[in-house]
Amino acid sequence: MTFKDIFKSSFLENVISVSVLDMVLALLLAFCVGLFIFFVYKKTFSGVMYSSSFGVTLVALTMITTLVILAVTSNIVLSLGMVGALSIVRFRTAIKEPLDIAFLFWSIAAGIVLAAGLIPLAVFGSVVIGIVLLVFVNRKSVTNPYIVVVECADAQSEKKAVSYLKEHTVKSVVKSKTARKGQIELNMEIRLKGDDTDFINTLSDMEGVGSAVLVSYNGDYMG
């Protein structure tokens, strides 16, 4: 084998199948779109524990997808090999938030569209998706729900506690009730009239009320 045979190798011919300018532009645009997706994810996050590593993953996933699609579109034979190689990949990380799945697919779709050369579609589509998520995910109810846990000694003190809560809240609904000998526990969903929570102190001091706990409810609920 001579140096001439080496330079005629099909492996070396693939080096120039994608121009340097195309690679730089595609990866740069993928990085910018990935940052935008990361920004939207950070602004719309409503879970318990924010993970910055997941946001970085969205940026990296956009660029990696662009890189893979650039390679696939440059060589038909390589595209068949990529399909076989990627089909054996399995992800074991559990997705806790359903909205995280949308962000993952958004990153992958943006990378595919950018690598295909449809830059206006990728940019315009990402902007529209980002606006929709910012509007609907951040849309909150005017009055946030709270859960009140009240321990009462008897039925009479229970009625007083329920009546008191109805007077000092916009809405109060009994969610669960546990009755034991000498003790009744109520779990009630309430909507506050304002930011004042001093009524809980008065409720706990009522005769027959052992304790009153106010908990902010951040889960999914119907407004």
Say whether pLDDT at 223 is over 60: no
Regarding whether 133 and 28 lie in a shared domain, the answer is yes
Regarding whether 97 and 81 lie in a shared domain, the answer is yes
Say whether pLDDT at 59 is over 80: yes
Highest mean pLDDT among 5-14, 44-53, 83-92: 44-53
What's the confidence (pLDDT) of residue 6? Answer: 45
Pairwise pLDDT comparison (170 vs 12), residue with the higher score:
170
Say whether pLDDT at 124 is over 90: yes
Q: Is the residue at 97 inside a domain?
A: yes
Give the number of domains in the chain: 2
Range of the domain at 197: 145-216
Question: What is d(CA 9, CA 52) in angstroms, rounded to the nearest whole number?
Answer: 44
Cα→Cα distances 43→93, 110, 206, Å: 23, 19, 42
Q: What is the pLDDT of residues 70-80, one digit of tens each?
A: 877 766 555 55
Q: 131 pLDDT band (50/70/90 cuts)? A: very high
For 64, the token pair is 């990696």
Regarding whether 163 and 120 lie in a shared domain, the answer is no
Q: 135 pLDDT band (50/70/90 cuts)? A: confident
Q: 19 pLDDT band (50/70/90 cuts)? A: confident
Regarding whether 127 and 33 lie in a shared domain, the answer is yes
Regarding whether 165 and 96 lie in a shared domain, the answer is no
Q: 55 pLDDT band (50/70/90 cuts)? A: confident
Q: Is the residue at 131 inside a domain?
A: yes
Say whether pLDDT at 122 is over 80: yes
Regarding whether 194 and 152 lie in a shared domain, the answer is yes
Question: What is d(CA 13, CA 6) in angstroms, rounded to the nearest whole number?
Answer: 10
What's the confidence (pLDDT) of residue 207? Answer: 85
Regarding whether 150 and 52 lie in a shared domain, the answer is no
Q: What is the pLDDT of residues 96-119, one digit of tens each?
A: 777 888 888 999 899 888 888 888
Q: Is the residue at 221 inside a domain?
A: no
Q: 45 pLDDT band (50/70/90 cuts)? A: confident
For 87, the token pair is 């089909």
Pairwise pLDDT comparison (138 vs 89), residue with the higher score:
138
| Dihedral angle computed from the Cα positions of residues 124, 128, 131 and 136, in that order, rounded to the nearest 10 degrees | -170
Q: What percent of the chain has pLDDT over 70?
A: 73
Regarding whether 155 and 85 lie in a shared domain, the answer is no
DSSP string, 150-199: EEESSHHHHHHHHHHHHHHEEEEEEEEEEEETTEEEEEEEEEESSS--TH
pTM of the model: 0.60
Q: What is the pLDDT of residues 31-42, one digit of tens each?
A: 999 999 999 998
Query: What average pLDDT score do residues 146-174 get?
Result: 86
Regarding whether 67 and 124 lie in a shared domain, the answer is yes
What's the confidence (pLDDT) of residue 221? Answer: 44
